[in-house]
Amino acid sequence: MLKFIFSLLLFASIVEATTVKTQQRNYDVNHYIRVDVTQMAGNNNDWVGIYPAGASNDWGNVVAWHYTNGITNGKIFFDGLSDGGQYDVRAFFSDSFNLEASYSFNVAGGGANASISSQKSTYTTAESIKINVSNMSGASQDWIGVYKVGASNDWDNVRSWSFTNGLKNGTITLDGVTAGNYEARAFFNNSFNKEASVSFSVKAAQQNATISTQQNVYNAGSSINVSVGNLAGNAHDWVGIYPAGASNDWDNVVTWAYTNGVQNGTITIEGVAAGSYEARVFFNDSFNLEASDSFTVQVVNLGPTVYEDAENGISGDWWTAGGPHTPIRVPNGFNSSGAVQLRVHWITNALNLSLYKLDLHHNRNQFVLDLDVGGVGYVGQPPAGLHSNWPKGTMPHYRIGVMVTTLKGKRFLNWSSWYTHQGFRAHKSVLANGLVQITFPSPLEQWRLTRLIYLWNHHHFDLNAWLRTMEPNNRILSVDTFVATGGNLDNITLSN
């Protein structure tokens, strides 16, 4: 008896199972699609949706849909789809996303038996890769990707790729890759479901590329002219300047430039600091060394470069980066007739909005900063928010610094009296714009509660030495901008 009941239940479940099916397995783009349904629940808000094959049932993946309007068995018609590819038609009850039935179909009349082949079994690193495709789905975002043999289909493993742009049969040209064993793989409609693949290999081009610097010795900061010959001619062939003996890793590149397709000619690269270097040439964004040449960069024994002494007015390279004031010249500099005054703008006892910058023109030769710092007090009544017992001679600034370019990127080195007073140690942080800031306690007092407005201190900073206390393996390539938040300043120089 139990067996009989079980058989009835099983028979009933088979008979009443919901089905959904397209009239055809393959459709052309923009051709209407007929969907047959059986054994729907009969609710007005039962519905049928079309999804990209393999997509989840989430609403965001629905390509097209219709309510059944209460039918249990019947036909539903969809407008044709404009993009080819593989799709599922799926049935759901009563506005839910609980799948009752599904059926797969293709759009663009192809794709079920896609195939690809390579025009060559072996390419060189200097060549583009040409892949013949057949019976692609016709979707604009069908695509071909080049992978290392054995790599998964994950996007991170793609070495070169291209959309087919709706091509069903024809040839796709891909950018070249570095030496190794590869597969070209075909995918439909921006998916990672592999439809076909073909293997090929890439070997180093026998280009016998050459590179030579036009001088054996350059002065620090001078542009470096590099002669190249017999390059591959790729837009992304490139020349890099490395410290002598360093590996080809990207982290060791001091400066670099693309060749932009030049096969024979001269590449000019920005200057670097003193040291021993190699110019190296690589093909097509790779790190496979094709040729190299050694050279040295020497220190130029220049006298100090004076950026501000305020003897005959102030430099035109100042600008205000914060606060309402502009730099002005005042008399009585440090053992001189004048100084530049950077007025402060206090809004509380501890918040000064003033910020001033002086362009140092990317000095690539001189990395020692000297300047004289004096006080400048407010006049008349204290600024709003400033404690009334602060004397008029208060030296009301707290920070000086420089923006520099280093082997590891941009850095803002600055010295703060606030750090000195609070006993803080040097600290490295990353600002909102991504700039790495290194703040040190000021080695000399920059904040005095004294009525002696014109009381001066001399500051001397070996910038590389300070940088290396926090980043021992780094060094400065150029000193770009001087920064201060207030005060009387005089004799701002860089030297070596």
Q: Domain with 171 in it: what CATH number?
A: 2.60.40.1930
Model-level pTM? 0.48
27 Cβ partners below 8 Å, 6+ apart? 33, 80, 81, 105, 106, 107, 108, 109
- In sequence order, the 6+-apart residues with CB closer than 8 A to the CB of 3 are none
How many domains would you assign to the chain?
4
Do 425 and 326 lie in one domain? The reply is yes
Q: What is the reported pLDDT for 482?
A: 98
Domain C-terminal end among 169, 187, 203? 203
- Regarding whether 444 and 372 lie in a shared domain, the answer is yes
Residues of the chain with pLDDT under 70: 1-16, 109-112, 205-207, 349-350, 375-398, 444-455
In a domain, 4, yes or no: no
Instruction: Tell me whether residue 11 is in a domain.
Output: no
Q: Which of 273, 298, 323 is the last residue of a domain?
A: 298
Question: 285: buried, middle or exposed (CB in 10 Å: 19+, 13-18, 0-12)?
Answer: middle
The pLDDT tens digits for 5-19 are 444 444 344 446 999
Strand 143-148 vs strand 129-134: parallel, antiparallel, or unpaired?
Answer: unpaired
pLDDT at 349: 63
Question: 312 with 282, same domain?
Answer: no
Does 9 fall in a domain?
no
Cα separation, 46 vs 217, whole angstroms: 80
Domain CATH for 387: 2.60.120
Together in a domain, 289 and 312: no
Same-domain check for residues 149 and 59: no
Q: Are residues 100 and 131 in the same domain?
A: no
**CA distance linking residue 22 with residue 111, whole number of Å:** 17
Task: Decide: 403 and 483 in contact? Cβ < 8 Å.
Answer: yes
In a domain, 169, yes or no: yes
Alpha-carbon span 159 to 182, nearest angstrom: 9
Answer yes or no: do 246 and 390 share one domain: no
| Claim to verify: residue 128 and residue 80 sit in the same structural domain | no
187 and 259 share one domain? no
Do 489 and 395 lie in one domain? The reply is: yes
Query: Parallel, antiparallel, or unpaired for β 26-27 and 99-107?
Result: parallel
State which residues form the domain around 261: 210-298
Check the CA dihedral 379-383-389-395 and report its sign: negative
Is 52 within a domain? yes
Spatial contact of 26 and 106, defined as CB atoms under 8 Å apart = yes
Q: Tell me, yes or no, whether 246 and 335 share the same domain.
A: no
Nearest alpha carbon to residue 355 among 327, 382, 390: 327
For residue 440, tell me if it sits in a domain: yes
Task: Output the six-digit token pair for 306.
Answer: 């004076």
Tell me the β-bridge partners of 50: 64, 89
Is residue 334 included in any domain, yes or no?
A: yes
Token pair listed for 263 = 């096969």
Phi, psi of 138 (to 5 degrees): 90, 0
CA proximity to 330, closest of 315, 310, 307: 310
Q: Answer whether 459's CB lies under 8 Å from 202's CB.
A: no
Maximum alpha-carbon separation in the chain: 117
Q: What is the per-residue pLDDT for 12? A: 40
The last residue of one of the domains, among 298, 314, 337, is 298
The answer to whether residues 397 and 476 belong to one domain is: yes
- Is 319 domain-assigned? yes
Tokens (6 digits) for 368? 């020692």
* Alpha carbon distance 285, 288 (integer Å): 9
Q: What tokens does 361 get? A: 């023109």
